[in-house]
Amino acid sequence: MLRKAGIKDLILVTGYYEEKIKHRIGNQVHYMHYPKFTLTNNLYTLHYCRSLLDQATIILFSVTTFLDYLLVV
């Protein structure tokens, strides 16, 4: 869906269900694991991966949208 819109470089920050997500998506994206996902919120996650945000960036916090698709389909 994002690639069809012309977005070429996708980085997925994982936490909960990391292995299931990687298994489902495979090597179509780059991954960064946020180890404190059980202790913090999305703002801390964004701060953790701030080094990746040096170019034009689109940030999607859509856990429920993607999680249902990844785990059910």
Angle 61-68-17 from CA coordinates, rounded to 5°? 75
pLDDT grade, residue 1 (50/70/90)? Answer: low
| CA angle (63, 5, 12) in 5-degree steps | 35
Q: N- to C-terminal Cα distance for the chain?
A: 16
The predicted pLDDT at position 73 comes to: 47
* Residue scoring higher pLDDT (69 or 57): 57
Range of the domain at 52: 3-72
Tens-digit pLDDT profile for residues 14-68: 888 888 888 888 888 888 888 888 888 878 888 888 887 776 766 666 665 555 6
Q: How many CB atoms sit inside 10 A of residue 13's CB?
A: 19
Q: How many domains does the chain have?
A: 1
What CA–CA distance (Å, rounded) separates 66 from 73? 11
Give the pLDDT confidence of 10-26 residue by residue, as tens digits. 888 888 888 888 888 88
